[in-house]
Amino acid sequence: MFEGFETRHVETGEASVFVRYGGDGPPVVLLHGHPRTSATWHRVAPLLVDRGFTVVCPDLRGYGRSRGPAPAPAPDHSAHSKRAVAGDVVAVMRALGHERFALVGHDRGAAVAFRLVLDHPGAVERVALIDCLPISEHLARITPEFATQWWHWFFFAQPDTPERVINADPDAWYRGDPRVMGRENHDEFREATRDPEVVRAMLEDYRAGLTVDRRHEEEDRAAGTRVRCPALILWSLRDDLEQLYGDPLRIWRDWATDVRGHGIDSGHHVAEEAPQDLAAALADFFTA
Task: Specify whether 120 is catalytic.
Answer: no
In one-letter notation, the amino acid at residue 77 is: H
Q: Which of 139, 85, 145, 92 is CA-nearest to residue 111?
A: 85
Q: How far is the C-alpha of 124 from the C-alpha of 73, rounded, in Å?
A: 28
Task: Specify whether 254 is catalytic.
Answer: no
Catalytic residue chosen out of the listed positions 88, 107, 213, 220: 107
The 8 Å CB, 24+ separation contacts for 244-252 are: 244/141, 244/143, 244/145, 244/146, 244/149, 245/133, 245/141, 248/133, 251/133, 251/134, 251/137, 252/129, 252/133
Q: How far is the C-alpha of 57 from the C-alpha of 95, rounded, in Å?
A: 14
Catalytic residue chosen out of the listed positions 9, 120, 268, 277: 268
Active-site positions?
A: 107, 268
